Structure 1
Amino acid sequence: MDILHLVDRLEELFNESSSVPLTHKVMMDEGRLLDLIDQMRLAIPEEIKKSQQIISQKERIIAQAHEEANRTIELAKEQCQKLVERDEIVQKAQVMAEDIINKAREENNQIKQEADFYAIDSLEHLEIEMTKILAQVRNGIQTLKYDKTSEKTQSGGSRNGNQQN
């Protein structure tokens, strides 16, 4: 399940919760909340899998570029060999072959650079999203801890207040 969807569900659970009168606290269904937290824990590895898929995709693109470059280089060598056999155009053949090889190398470098940029951009975006999610989860946990601490403090204070009356 998408982690952002789970964060939306957490917010929905918060919005559906009952507020405690005269406080900034809410009462939430503990079972639903814990279930949501468990689902979030399971969803985060999915986000990591996505980043691994992006890296694999980049590696496939690079491998394809290498294969294409190698095929182009081999083709250039074959063409060069054929041209060399014709003595009248030996010099032209060498120049053409070198141009083809250089172009193949440039294309290979460009494809690799584009794949690197794509992977970096995707991973940076994923990092930003995961940082936001982590901050939201931590904020939710802190809110719940604060609410629990406040409830204990208030229930302790009510007992003392009842004893005075």
Structure 2
Amino acid sequence: MDVLKLLDEIEDIIEGSSTIPFAGKALVDKGDILEIIKEIRIKLPDEIKQAEWIKEERQRILAEAQNEADTMVKEVKIHIEEMVEQDEITKLAYERAEEIVSKAQNNAKEIRIGAREYADGLLKETEVKLKNIIDTLEKNRQELNNF
């Protein structure tokens, strides 16, 4: 992740800078820090776009799972209607239809749950990374403002 590398650069600049004895302060090249912050501002929208893509992908997966479940249910209903027409196997048809509907609903539920968990995991990971970036930026700004 480019933003994290840039934050590492800021950290390296601060750690490698001259210190003011007994003050706990560091002398840094303002231009270097500002240039890196500028690069972070340029790259940060890409990270946000990635998070938006993950959200859209999650919605697409959920919609796809719902469509698949709907199609399965329609197929099961058609199959049930065909079997009901045959008097000899009406009882078996009802049992089989219920079994198919139940499997279709369980499959759709598992697909939806899996898609949600996957998307939530990706969003959580992105959220944590963005929070770390923001925390680091706030810390660095505070340190710069303390001069």
TM over 0.5: yes
TM-score by length of 1: 0.77
Matched with 1:27 is 27
Aligned-partner Cα distance in 2 for 1:136–1:50:
20
Aligned-partner Cα distance in 2 for 1:55–1:131:
17
Aligned-partner Cα distance in 1 for 2:16–2:117:
43
Aligned-partner Cα distance in 2 for 1:99–1:62:
23
One-letter amino acid of the structure 1 residue matched with residue 62 of structure 2: I
2:109 aligned with 1:109: yes
CA gap 1:66/1:22 in 2 versus in 1, 3 angstroms: closer
Q: Name stretches of at least 5 consecutive residues in structure 2 with no aligned partner.
A: none
Aligned-partner Cα distance in 1 for 2:22–2:81:
90
SS of the aligned residue for 1:112 comes to: helix
Matched with 2:59 is 59
Aligned-partner Cα distance in 2 for 1:7–1:38:
11
One-letter amino acid of the structure 2 residue matched with residue 112 of structure 1: R
Q: Point out the more displaced range, 113-122 or 62-71.
A: 113-122
Q: CA deviation at 1:141?
A: 0.8
Encode CA deviations 1:63-83: one digit per residue, 9 max, x unaligned.
Answer: 111121122122212322322
One-letter amino acid of the structure 2 residue matched with residue 137 of structure 1: L
Q: Name stretches of at least 5 consecutive residues in structure 1 with no aligned partner.
A: 148-165
Aligned-partner Cα distance in 2 for 1:138–1:61:
36
Matched with 1:155 is none
Matches of residues 50-89 of structure 1 in structure 2 within 5 Å?
A: 50-89=50-89
TM-score by length of 2: 0.86
One-letter amino acid of the structure 1 residue matched with residue 76 of structure 2: A
2:108 aligned with 1:96: no
SS of the aligned residue for 1:124 comes to: helix
2:51 aligned with 1:46: no
Aligned-partner Cα distance in 2 for 1:137–1:91:
68
Q: CA deviation at 1:140?
A: 0.7
Q: CA deviation at 1:120?
A: 2.3
Aligned-partner Cα distance in 2 for 1:129–1:16:
25
Matches of residues 109-128 of structure 1 in structure 2 within 5 Å?
A: 109-128=109-128
Identity %: 32
Aligned-partner Cα distance in 1 for 2:105–2:51:
28
Q: CA deviation at 1:23?
A: 4.6
